[in-house]
Amino acid sequence: MKVLILGSGGREHALAWAVARSKKVTEVVCAPGNGGIAEVARCVPVNLKDLEAMVRLVESEQPGLTIVGPELPLSLGIVDALQQRGLRVFGPTGAAAMLESSKGFAKQFLQRHNIPTGNFAVCSSAAELEKAIDLFHPPIVVKADGLAAGKGVIICTSRATAVEAGQGLFTGKLLGEKTQQVVIEEFLEGDEISFLCLSDGKHIVPLVPAQDHKRIGEGDTGPNTGGMGVYSTDQMLEPSMTEWIMHHIAEPTIRGMADEGTPFAGVLYCGLMMTARGPQVLEFNARFGDPETQALLMRLDSDLVEALDACVDGRLAETELRWTPGASACVVASSAGYPGSYKTGLPITGLAAAAQVPGVQIFHSGSVLAGSEIQTAGGRVLGVTAVAGTLKEALARAYQAIAEIHFEGMYFRRDIGHRGLSK
């Protein structure tokens, strides 16, 4: 069967790599893809902001399955449009994707269904914002309501900076476009865990957990990014805690969405904070994470396409995922200046040597093939990912590989996995 993947980042490269390994798959197409994805899939151009163009492409290609990678096409309703045309597609509908596309909706949904989350307020004006902030003690978390590519969260150490951040979101000063709502949340302390599940709208199957590193700087300092690295180990969650999260968070979410008339089929990504009062939901994503997908799929022993097919066909209850024991780690190499402005078009060298390190796969996030040369084309450029028997070994392999790679201004954190190593 032909599989078409919508997207152009490291997540989509990892998906294409895993899909290409399936015995069910005869061809992998990625739209628009990138310089690395072109090695495992046929890349075709498409504008991921143009719903009609994406629908025309899928209708033209007639794949047996379409996998939607990024959040924007989901929020535009690509799944609804393809389903209406009788085309098989993996991902939630536009209404179900509201769990990610509106943080205000997600927090109010959590409240309605008694799912543990921090205290919050949803504000529609600067006046509401100033009143709401008085109800919280610093540090205060200020979030843009809509999609912001991982950059719409500001942790503020005072009331004044929280007001300034909220006003900056309303006016468009911070993100370049105005947000209609701003969410204020209490600051939660603890370890952050990415807990992803597959769902067919009724049943759920968990993936192994992971821990992302969102801040640009070592020691978890500086502004938030889309993710600078991630790791996954068997020791991250005890089986009893996994069961608790499934029973108190994941299952009530899928059940609640079905009860509200918007069944959720696809990937439910629960961003959790493991606090002193138990796991609390920080946010939902309605798709595979990036860079979590890179690390998780390196550990997946099952056929990914069979599992996604089961989600689309409503037979996930028959599916069990198998995982390689041990650990995986992904270290992101980014452009100088990210998450702010950065140069593109810089040549990348050393990729072949890096790929020779045992257990390593290099997933491209922001690259382009220019003639015979791979060049930078984004803020996050590469996700150097390794699998091994222990976290220490997986990290050593990833850093050994990244040492072989060079492009002007290349930056990466040297402390990915530090929490896991300390335990």
Pairing, β 2-7 against β 65-68: parallel
236 strand-pairing partners: none
Provide the whole-model pTM. 0.94
Residues 163 and 207 in one domain: no
Q: Would you state the pLDDT for residue 292? A: 97
* Stretch 27-39: mean pLDDT: 96
What is the DSSP code (8-state) at residue 339?
Answer: T
The encoded tokens of residue 363 equal 């997933």
DSSP for 199-259, written as a single string? EESS-EEEPPPBEE--EEETTTEEEE-S-SEEEEETTSS-HHHHHHHIIIIIHHHHHHHHH
- Contact indicator for 23, 307 with CB cutoff of 8 Å: no
- Which one of 48, 73, 94 terminates a domain? 94
Residues 21 and 89 in one domain: yes
Question: Is residue 268 included in any domain, yes or no?
Answer: yes
Classify the C-alpha dihedral 41-45-47-52 as positive or negative.
Answer: negative
Please enumerate in sequence order all residues whose Cβ is within 8 A of that of 369, keeping only pairs 6 or more positions apart, or say none. 35, 38, 375
Name the residue range of residue 380's domain. 327-422
Look at residue 304 and give its three-state secondary structure.
helix
CA 54 to chain centre: 21
Distance CA 255, CA 253 (A): 5
Model confidence over 305-360: pLDDT tens digits? 999 999 999 999 999 999 999 999 999 999 999 999 999 999 999 999 999 999 99
* Among the ranges given (17-26, 126-135, 194-203), the one the predictor scored with the smallest mean pLDDT: 126-135
Res 287 pLDDT > 90: yes
Residues 301 and 334 in one domain: no
| CATH code of the domain covering residue 242 | 3.30.470.20
Residues 312 and 195 in one domain: yes
Residue that wins the pLDDT comparison between 388 and 177 = 388
Residues 347 and 305 in one domain: no
Please enumerate in sequence order all residues whose Cβ is within 8 A of that of 349, keeping only pairs 6 or more positions apart, or say none. 405, 406, 407
- Contact indicator for 118, 303 with CB cutoff of 8 Å: no
Question: Is residue 115 included in any domain, yes or no?
Answer: no
> Considering only CA atoms, which of 405, 408, 344, 348 is closest in space to residue 379?
344
The encoded tokens of residue 222 equal 């500086």
Residues 281 and 302 in one domain: yes
What total of structural domains would you count in the chain?
A: 4
Residues 198 and 285 in one domain: yes
The backbone torsions φ and ψ at residue 141, rounded to the nearest 5 degrees and listed phi first, read -100, 125
Residues 238 and 343 in one domain: no
150 pLDDT tier (thresholds 50, 70, 90): low
Model confidence over 203-251: pLDDT tens digits? 999 999 999 999 999 999 998 899 999 999 999 999 999 999 999 999 9
Model confidence over 84-135: pLDDT tens digits? 999 999 999 999 999 999 999 999 999 999 999 999 999 999 889 989 999 9
The encoded tokens of residue 205 equal 């199957």
Model confidence over 397-406: pLDDT tens digits? 999 999 999 9
Residues 277 and 336 in one domain: no
- Which one of 72, 94, 116 terminates a domain? 94
Question: Is residue 342 included in any domain, yes or no?
Answer: yes
Average pLDDT, the chain: 95
- Contact indicator for 70, 48 with CB cutoff of 8 Å: yes
> Considering only CA atoms, which of 355, 364, 366 is closest in space to residue 398?
355
Other Cβ atoms less than 10 A from the Cβ of 420: the count is 21
| CATH code of the domain covering residue 74 | 3.40.50.20
Q: Would you state the pLDDT for residue 182? A: 93
Instruction: Provide the terminal-to-terminal Cα distance of the chain, rounded to the nearest Å.
Output: 44
149 pLDDT tier (thresholds 50, 70, 90): low
* Burial category of 161 from C-beta neighbours within 10 Å (exposed 0-12, middle 13-18, buried 19 and up): middle
Q: Would you state the pLDDT for residue 99? A: 96
Percent of the chain at pLDDT above 90? 90
Q: Would you state the pLDDT for residue 151? A: 64
Helical packing angle, 103-112 and 251-259, nearest 10°: 100
152 pLDDT tier (thresholds 50, 70, 90): confident
- Which one of 300, 318, 336 terminates a domain? 318
Residues 311 and 338 in one domain: no
Q: Would you state the pLDDT for residue 126? A: 86
